[in-house]
Structure 1
Amino acid sequence: MSLSRSAAETVGLQAIAWLAADEDLLPVFMGATGADEEAFRAHLSDPSFQASVLDFVLMDDAWIRKFCDASGLDYDVPMQARAALPGGQNVHWT
């Protein structure tokens, strides 16, 4: 099953909200991407930014589980959402 672009953007926004609420993980994301607080807020609705947050979350199985458990999502939904956002069709997971 694949997600629509609109559904993928909703998951992307959920991932952003989850990440923003995590006081330990948010600084890791900011350091890894070079984003500052202003850029983080300015790009909330940007599907490419949402994709980058999902890319980050997808780097660690524990993060995926925490995000999905907190959001009530199946564990495969973040990957489906990432595939539906810009650049997702070119991602090679191996």
Structure 2
Amino acid sequence: MKQEQAEVIALQAITFISSEERALHGFLAQSGAGIDDLQSNLTDPAFLAGILDFLLSDESALLVFCEQAEIEPQLIVSARRALPGAENLWDG
């Protein structure tokens, strides 16, 4: 997957997280980010990677997001691999 495709998926995930109160509170607590960071970091690949990291760490949010976006959870892993900081996250 190309980085641009991964960024689009992460932007979809931001929209999802912003609309789901439990996911939003979980992301803010886990990341230390604030509400304003969601909008001000939309073009930061490292921030977008953090969005996908959050989804991958919260299975229930991941599954709801994937169902709503009509994508397979494995696609989130592929997207995360395409963004900065994934070099040592998974083999292969």
Q: TM-score, normalised by structure 1?
A: 0.88
Alignment of 1:35-74 (within 5 A): 35-74=33-72
Q: Which of 80, 83, 87 is equivalent to 1:82?
A: 80
> Residue type matched to 1:34 in 2?
G
Q: TM-score, normalised by structure 2?
A: 0.89
After the TM superposition, which segments of 4 or more aligned residues of structure 1 sit over 3 Å from their partners?
none
Gaps of 5+ in 2: none
Whole-angstrom distance in 1 between the partners of 2:49 and 2:69: 17
SS class of match (1:90): coil
Contact 1:12 1:47 in 2 (8 A): no
Contact 1:13 1:45 in 2 (8 A): no
> What is the aligned-residue RMSD (CA, Å)?
1.4
Structure 1 residues 61 and 28: CA distance shift in structure 2, 3 A: closer
